[in-house]
Amino acid sequence: MAPGDTLNALLQQLGVNAETRTQASTSLAERFDPRRLRPGDRLTVTSLTTGQPVSVAIERDSGIQYVVTLGERPSTRIVPPRLDTLTLGREVDIETSLYAALAAEGIPTRFAMDLEVLLGGLMDTARDISGAERLQLLWEEDRREDGTRVGPPRLTYMGLADPSARLEMVWPTDQRATVMLFKDGSLVETKRFPVLGARLTSAFGNRRHPVYGGVRRHDGVDLAAPRGTPVMATAPGRVSFVGRRGGYGRVVEVEHEMGTLSRYTHLSRFASGLSVGDAINAGDTLGEVGASGLTTGPNLHYEVRVGDRPVDPLEEGQRIILGESPTPQDYRSVLFEARGRLQKAIGTSGLVALDNR
């Protein structure tokens, strides 16, 4: 599909008559809103040798297929993608900028923004890069059988070394929504995210509004992810609101200790049975990523508030609601395991003087 395409128009171009187009659209709407189709989605019509269509399939960028079986009683089924998960590792020298180094080596450039945000408390990746840094990355990609990538790549390790210090970030294999940040082998910060593998599209603070234009205050962060991606609670608490709220669309709010509240918005649906008063643990599913309310596409708008004061969910908000930190032995084992995976992926055992600090 290209920009401006609609399901009806494409089916017509493929020779599907009006009655069959209506049947396909009506059946599909039971599982998926055709208005949510995006450029890059694939449409396939399977026909008999007589030319009569027997099925219509839509494949999303995530690899999920919605297959409509035509006939007297059309029906739609969801077919999960057949994917292989590849682990990739690269090592690059940064000469001018982080973005340029990634682009030159064919590494997903979205990592530049991810690292800019995650390292924000320790360094400015635009200002502090001197040209003497070496970057190591380990990430995962889901691939179809034909080798094409499905969905966003997912970082699992980052190492950034210069003559004065070594910064490392690790996404633990058993809790990928958590990021541990190390400096010279010591844990200095832990961040927890409500969506696994999401891409940060808008940070906290003043920004140009994507719908209305003009500069407005942004009370949270926007995390883009495929529609239907699980949204998880970032800390223990109790559900205080489940429902619709204006431009936020479908919203879940969780109250935590000391008057702190986390807010999850634009959801496509709520977790089954979720109700006000439910006790929630960190990592529990609250709903799914969607585009309800006022938004330009599927994403999670995530806020943390202290009283009624919004705080940066990736900075002050993390320190307030995270709770207990891992023990030194816990974080050391996580770090060493990640370093081992990096060495295996790159195929060397002498990477930038990795030590056991």
Is 355 a domain residue? no
315 in any annotated domain: yes
Neighbour count for residue 284 (Cβ, 10 Å): 17
- Write down the pLDDT at residue 327: 56
Provide the β-strand partners of residue 290.
Answer: 299
Beta-bridge mates of residue 264: 252, 302
Residue 182: CB atoms within 10 A of its CB come to: 21
> Same domain for 188 and 273?
no
Q: How many domains does the chain have?
A: 3
Clarify whether residues 59 and 156 are in a common domain: no
Give pLDDT tens digits for 112-164. 878 887 787 677 777 778 778 899 999 998 888 888 887 778 889 999 988 78
Query: Is residue 278 in a domain?
Result: yes
More confident residue, 350 or 91: 91
What is the span of the domain harbouring residue 25? 7-79
Whether residues 184 and 104 fall in one domain? yes
Instruction: Report the pLDDT value the prediction gives residue 45, as an integer from 0 to 100.
Output: 93
Same domain, 170 and 63: no
On whether residue 353 sits in a domain, the answer given is no
Residue 266, H or E segment: strand 260-270
Q: Are residues 183 and 331 in the same domain?
A: yes
Tokens coding 321: 């609601």
Q: Is 300 helix (H, G, I), strand (E, B) or coil?
A: strand
Going by pLDDT thresholds of 50, 70 and 90, the confidence category of residue 353 is very low
The CATH number of whichever domain residue 209 belongs to comes to 2.70.70.10
- Which of 30-39, 80-89, 197-206, 331-340 shows the lowest mean pLDDT across its residues? 197-206
Alpha carbons 157 and 94: distance in angstroms, whole number: 17
pLDDT in tens, 254-268: 999 888 999 999 999
Residues 309 and 335 in one domain: no
Tell me, yes or no, whether 168 and 277 share the same domain.
Answer: no
Question: Closest by alpha carbon to 261, among 219, 221, 304?
Answer: 304
Clarify whether residues 156 and 109 are in a common domain.
Answer: yes
In Å, the largest CA–CA distance within the chain is 72
pLDDT per residue as tens digits for the range 278-305: 999 888 899 999 999 988 889 999 999 9
pTM for the model stands at 0.65
Please report, rounded to a whole number, the percentage of residues in the chain having pLDDT higher than 70: 89
> Is 157 inside any structural domain?
yes
Query: The domain that contains 53 carries what CATH number?
Result: 3.10.450.350
